Copies of this chain bind each other. A is one copy, B any other.
Amino acid sequence: MARLLESKKAFNAEVNQYEHNSPTLGCVMKFSVINGGSGSDEKLPVIYWLSGLTCSDRNFIEKAGAFRAAVENRVIIVCPDTSPRGVDIEGDSESWDFGKGAGFYLNATQPKWAANYKMYDYVTNELMEIIEQTVKTNGKKAIMGHSMGGHGALTIALRNPGVYTSVSAFAPICNPMQCPWGNKAFTGYLGDDQEQWKAYDATEQMKGMKAAPFDDILIDVGDKDNFLTAGQLLPENFKAACDQVGQKCSLRMQPGYDHSYFFIATFIEDHIKFHKQRLAN
């Protein structure tokens, strides 16, 4: 059972933080929840939000300004942390794009990391069970995320057909095998065999699809995003893979926006509405 750490109110939504013992990750994990239906007995759908590098369960809560849209669309938004916490592994704090705050939503296979760095299993299994015990849901789920969390949302949605009704992302790392962040993380967590990397690469996953798994995938990217120009995101590769499979992908290049939560705050309502429309069917 999750333990309630804090309960706040925003736009009539309940904004709670919880912690729980995670057997999957071998540590205590925190997660935050925006409950857009607080005060009523209605069972609501859940949208999982996966955050980017360096983030905790709190960045989205404090900076995305998603409360009003959560209440208006009557959804629950769940924000897990981005890596195991409270375990100390040599090298887990040396860089901001590997180790703590950078779990990459995968199951590590390299011996040093394999015992704890299982964020894929955590998000797709353990966290879901905890959520069903903690809040009133109607069992319907969607998933979205930002940057590393956009990568997580896309790969998790594509690898778990039928579990999530919809997926969207902000500035996702779309093809991590082809970018510096992904290369570093996959080498560290998964080793040198690039065949093993494909399970965690959204573009590779999409290429392998026999049919389009979703009616649409919504992706927003700011055209002033430094990480886009640095070749870390590669949305065009994912879009090309979608085209190949016949998967509609609404890739919107947003003029003047960067990689920050100011960008996320601007378009989060669009994403929540995109998911709610599909969750309501």
**Chain A interface (Cβ within 8 Å of chain B)?**
8-12, 15, 62-63, 65, 67, 222, 224, 256-258, 260-263, 265-266
Contacts and interface: CB of A to CB of B under 8 A. Distances in A.
A8 B265 contact: no
A262 B15 contact: yes
A62 B264 CA distance: 12
Oligomer: number of copies? 2
A67 B8 CA distance: 22
Nearest to A256: B9
A79 to B, nearest CB: 14
Contacts of A261: 62
Q: Secondary structure at chain A's binding surface: helix, strand, loop or mixed?
A: mixed
A10 B263 contact: yes
A15 B12 CA distance: 27
Contacts of A266: 9-12, 67
Query: Which 10 pairs, one residue from A and one from B, show the smallest C-beta to C-beta distance?
Result: A65-B65, A10-B262, A9-B256, A8-B262, A11-B266, A10-B266, A9-B257, A62-B63, A10-B265, A15-B262
A109 to B, nearest CB: 37
Contacts of A10: 262-263, 265-266
Contacts of A11: 265-266
7 contacts: A8-B258, A9-B224, A10-B266, A11-B266, A62-B261, A65-B65, A67-B265
